[in-house]
Amino acid sequence: MEVDDVTVRFGALTALSGVSLRAEPGTVHAVIGPNGAGKSTLFNVISGVYRASAGSVRLGGTTLTGRRPHRITALGVGRAFQNMAASPSESVEENIMLGRHLLTRAGFVGSGLKLPWAVREQRLHRARVVEIAQFVGLGHLLDRPLGILSYGDRKRVEVARALATEPRVLLLDEPVAGMNAAETLRMSEIVLSVRESLGITVLLVEHDMSMIMSVADRISVLDFGRLIADGTPAQIQNDPAVIAAYLGTGTETGAAPAPAPATAPSP
Ligand SMILES: Nc1ncnc2c1ncn2[C@@H]1O[C@H](COP(=O)(O)OP(=O)(O)OP(=O)(O)O)[C@@H](O)[C@H]1O
């Protein structure tokens, strides 16, 4: 996935200013930065929720910018949202199925009419939903209503639902926000197995630095809407501009770089 010179303006505010990055196939690519840096705006441009004022996003050779969100999903960009917008009374299976509906010819109408081809198609989709649920460790919870699940399990339903769209690139927006250490570890393992076992590129926005450092192959750093660094976790941890941005002292001020912290503090 290539983000090329993307600018997003909201009136007088420039939320993203000429941002470029390249997420290589089969890698985990993290996007980090202090609050208000433009991370969610970038995800919203990639997934078609926001329109770029300038620049482009491409997946393979296909331009995504200017397309509607459901087309972008169909072209292979799956997104697990930070705020879970799933139905609490429906089962885990139905919630994951929502990701599948984009791919079904039948949708609700055909299956409601019990047309033979629609029933066959639904059966295949349900089998795939079971596989995906097992992949994220939710196979034993398929028939439970979403609302009774733990926070960590619900977050995994969101990832499963995004995987159910059969993405080439999975966007994860703060997947471990609010999680305890055990849940965070579990989610990190899922992120790595999405890369290893499924070969899917993961684009990840997250504030938990130790999680980022343990899963990311590459990191792009935003600050005030600009890309201030791009590199491996080791390079990023030792980058003076990044350290300055996180310490809130401004970038490239000539201040002596602080020793690289194992976990950079959230602002
Ligand atoms: N729809 C919008 N209308 C106006 N301003 C917006 C809109 N969306 C984002 N912004 C502004 O753009 C800037 C970047 O916001 P964004 O949410 O992308 O940052 P972020 O890096 O995701 O922050 P956080 O880590 O707090 O989620 C902020 O100043 C924000 O107020």
Average pLDDT in the chain: 87
* Mean pLDDT, range 1-25, rounded to an integer: 97
Q: Is 16 in the pocket of ligand 1 (CB under 6 A)?
A: no
* Residue with CA nearest ligand 1 atom 5: 10
Quote the ipTM score.
0.96
- pLDDT above 70 coverage of the chain, percent: 86
Q: If you compute the radius of gyration of the chain from its CA atoms, what whole number of angstroms results?
A: 19
Give the E-state strand segments of 103-237 in sequence order: 169-173, 201-205, 218-223, 226-231
Higher pLDDT, 102 or 218: 218
Residue-level pLDDT at 33 = 95
- Residue of 41, 43, 208 best suited for mutating to test ligand 1, as the one with most atoms within 8 Å of CB: 41
Supply the pLDDT for residue 82: 53
Give residue 110's pLDDT: 54
Residue type, 147: G
Separation of alpha carbons 90 and 81, rounded Å: 18
Report which protein residue has its CA nearest ligand 1's atom 7: 10
Helix 92-100 vs helix 116-135: angle between axes, to the nearest 10 degrees? 110
pLDDT category of residue 247 using cuts at 50, 70 and 90? confident
- Unique residue bearing structure tokens 């081809």: 117
- Kindly state the average pLDDT of the residues 148-168: 94
HSE at residue 145, side-chain half, CA atoms within 13 A, is 6
Residue 19 Cβ contacting ligand 1 at under 6 Å: no
Structure pTM?
0.88
The residue that leads in pLDDT, 83 or 245, is 245
pLDDT score at 81: 66
Q: Which atom of ligand 1 is nearest to the CA of 41?
A: 18
- The residue whose C-alpha atom lies closest to atom 2 belonging to ligand 1 is 10
Distance (angstroms) between ligand 1 centre and the Cα of 41 equals 6
- Of the pLDDT bands very low, low, confident and very high (cuts 50, 70, 90), residue 101 is confident
Cα–Cα dist 31/200, whole Å: 17
Of residues 108 and 114, more confidently modeled: 114
Residue 83 clears pLDDT 90, i.e. is over it: no
253 falls in which pLDDT band (50, 70, 90)? very low
Going along the chain from its start, the domains and CATH numbers come out as 1-76+217-267 (3.40.50.300)
Cα distances (angstroms) measured from residue 248 to each of 44, 135, 177, 211: 25, 40, 22, 22
